[in-house]
Amino acid sequence: MEEQAPSAPTISFSDIIMNVFAAPGDAYEGIRTSPTRASIWVVPLIIVLLLTCCFTWLMFTNESMKNQIMDTQRTRMEEQVQAGKMSQEQADRASEQMEKAGGMMIAFGMVFGVVTVSLMFFLATLVFWLVGKFGLKAEGGYGKYLELYGAAQWIGILGFIVTILLAVAYGSMYASPSGGLAVLSNFNPKNTTHRLLSSLNIFTIWQMIVVGIGMAKYAGKSSGTGIGVGVGLMIVWVLISVYGMSALGM
């Protein structure tokens, strides 16, 4: 009777979390050879969504950050008035309504944040899957790439916590572990240089390096190749989000 080769052991959830930080190659090799499990990406996604809600609540309850939000909205309305798209009376009325609708603004912000983060998660995974499938000729379906990005989210979660702590410490919604700290005292969200510095987030770079290592494991390529792909994708996103949005006047 022919003996069957023993199947690879399933990597544990705790090992995935630890290895994503300490040995991402081992984490993704374990994920690659293990059965697909939704918990690998569902759990970190839920935590990110909860942190998103917490940060939204913080922005509208911290007086300094709330004023930053209101100032940004007033500036946009002033631009609308100057462009003739709304009257000064309408702008003043809208400003008063924003001041009064505290709870509603928090609820709207949370819903908007949850929807946006969720869409970005699934769209980013789609991009990774397409690049992996057609660019790196990797095996694995969309579900495996949900696991890939979900595992890397633990780095994003750590970065999100650090961001919240910095926001509280500096009293600014623009504080983050990025180059933006260098211009935080006079940060202007419409300044392209400021936005570029802010996009150079230490944890985002780390996370995309780890995503690249995971893609390399899926494709049987070298870690260097995967890291190059991950960093390249991040650069493309930075260019789109900073220069593309600026071109659209956003």
pLDDT score for 46: 98
Q: Tell me, what amino acid is at 146?
A: L
The tens digit of pLDDT for each residue in 188-226 reads 888 899 999 999 999 999 999 999 999 999 999 999 999
Two structure tokens written together for 215: 């893609």
What is the pLDDT at residue 52? 97
Residues 6+ apart with CB under 8 A from 211: 128, 148, 149, 152, 230, 233
Q: What mean pLDDT is predicted for residues 124-134?
A: 96
pLDDT mean across residues, the chain: 89
Could you tell me the pLDDT band of residue 245, with boundaries at 50, 70 and 90? Answer: low
Q: At 1, is the secondary structure helix, strand, or coil? A: coil
Between helix 63-82 and helix 88-100 the angle, nearest 10°, is: 160
Q: Could you tell me if 109 and 56 are in contact, meaning their C-beta atoms sit under 8 angstroms apart?
A: yes
Distance CA 80, CA 88 (A): 9
* pLDDT-wise least confident of 74-78, 120-124, 185-189: 74-78
Lowest-confidence segment of 66-80, 127-141, 143-157, 224-238 by average pLDDT: 66-80
Q: Are 205 and 153 in contact (CB under 8 A)?
A: no
The stretch 91-107 carries a mean pLDDT of: 74
Contact 49, 114 (CB under 8 A): yes
Q: What is the pTM of this model?
A: 0.87
Among residues of the chain, what percentage have pLDDT more than 70? 92
User: Is 131 within 8 Å of 147 (Cβ atoms)?
Assistant: no
* Residues 44, 207 contacting (CB under 8 angstroms): no
